[in-house]
Amino acid sequence: MEQMKIGGADIIDEDSLLLKLKENPLVRSIYRVLGRVDAFKGHAKAFYFEVVLSVHPCPKCHGRLNMTGISECQCSDCGYTFDPTTQFQQSPCCGSNLLRKTYHYACSRCNRTVPSRFVFDEKIFDSTYFREMMIESRNRKKRKRVEMRRLLAESRSDVLAFSEIPDLESISGMLDDLNGFIQHADHTPKHNFDIENNFSMDDYRDHILSVLTWNSMLFSNIAPLTDDCRIDRVRRFITLVFMQNDQEVELTQDAHDIRVQKVYNEAYS
């Protein structure tokens, strides 16, 4: 056995101490004591339920009842299984029936917690109640998604059908303005830009969300944030790609443009 001296006192290390305890006959006997305690606990529990159920016959055939689970009993004659707490026990405050909650019983009138006489030392868990609440929660979310899709579909504009070919010359000065715009775009100086220079994706994200509605919008119609059109276009596109990855928008190809559709998110509600 290894020992260390601290301040003149012998200190036994942990492994040596455990080995010494296992060799102790009193410690070895404790496992038998614990086994007997568990056995006594089981007998006490069975006797307790036998006494409690002895005054309650089966509500269907008046047969003998036996506990088969946590706050669950079964008739030994007809096999009827039920919750004895809700069947036999009443609230001490007003005599009302008890309701089984997720982890306890409560008075059906005042909702006051009432300990069950048919629970020994366990904690009840109403799996049926929990399952029903989960199903209702999923159905509620599903109904909300369906309703939002319906509202979005109703808010979309009708298809624009042209009865004749558009004539650009019918608008005075429009061709000259378009030519000037194209020439200006062709003479835009080329920049060796760095997309990370003063680029705040959060600013672009807030800007895009502020201009989007529940109707789809073309990428080219999103107003720029900087004077440099080429840099701004790249930054808008990068931001939209990340927003689509986060399921905030949906991007689809629309001829030579990109159509941006805002995706419903519970954070918007």
CA neighbor of 74 nearest in space, from 104, 49, 48: 49
Count of domains for the chain: 4
CA neighbor of 204 nearest in space, from 182, 224, 179, 185: 224
Instruction: Report the C-alpha gap between 150 and 48 in whole angstroms.
Output: 59
36 and 90 in a common domain: no
Give me the residues paired with residue 74 across strands.
66, 81
In a domain, 264, yes or no: yes
Which residue, chain included where needed, has tokens 């109707």?
215
What is the CATH number for 224?
1.10.10.580
Burial classification of residue 239, based on how many CB atoms lie within 10 Å of its CB (0-12 exposed, 13-18 middle, 19 or more buried): buried
Three-state SS at 218: strand
Read off the pLDDT band of 226 (50, 70, 90).
confident
- The one-letter amino acid code at 74 reads Q
96 and 80 in a common domain: yes
Instruction: Report the C-alpha gap between 34 and 40 in whole angstroms.
Output: 10
Write out the residue range of the structural domain in which residue 40 sits: 3-53
- What's residue 196's pLDDT? 47
81 and 40 in a common domain: no
Query: What pLDDT digit, counting tens, does each position of 135-179 carry?
Result: 887 888 888 888 888 877 777 766 666 666 666 666 777 777 777
Q: Report pTM.
A: 0.36
The alpha-carbon radius of gyration of the chain (Å, integer) is 38
Instruction: Report the C-alpha gap between 116 and 87 in whole angstroms.
Output: 11
Instruction: Report the C-alpha gap between 229 and 190 in whole angstroms.
Output: 11
Query: What pLDDT digit, counting tens, does each position of 228-237 carry?
Result: 888 888 889 9
Across the chain, mean pLDDT equals 78
Indicate the range of 74-78, 143-147, 215-219, 265-269 predicted with least confidence.
265-269
In a domain, 186, yes or no: no
Read off the pLDDT band of 194 (50, 70, 90).
very low
Query: What pLDDT digit, counting tens, does each position of 51-109 carry?
Result: 988 889 999 999 999 988 888 899 999 999 998 988 898 888 888 888 887 677 888 88
In a domain, 258, yes or no: yes
Three-state SS at 139: helix
In a domain, 39, yes or no: yes
In a domain, 82, yes or no: yes
Burial classification of residue 105, based on how many CB atoms lie within 10 Å of its CB (0-12 exposed, 13-18 middle, 19 or more buried): buried
- The one-letter amino acid code at 44 reads A
- What's residue 162's pLDDT? 66
In a domain, 190, yes or no: no
Read off the pLDDT band of 110 (50, 70, 90).
confident
Q: Is the pLDDT of residue 8 over 50?
A: no
Share of the chain above pLDDT 90, in %: 8
CA neighbor of 90 nearest in space, from 70, 106, 74, 77: 106
In a domain, 206, yes or no: yes
Residue 126 neighbours by CB distance under 10 Å: 18
Q: Is the pLDDT of residue 28 over 80?
A: no
Three-state SS at 18: helix
In a domain, 172, yes or no: no
- What's residue 128's pLDDT? 66
Q: Is the pLDDT of residue 18 over 90?
A: no
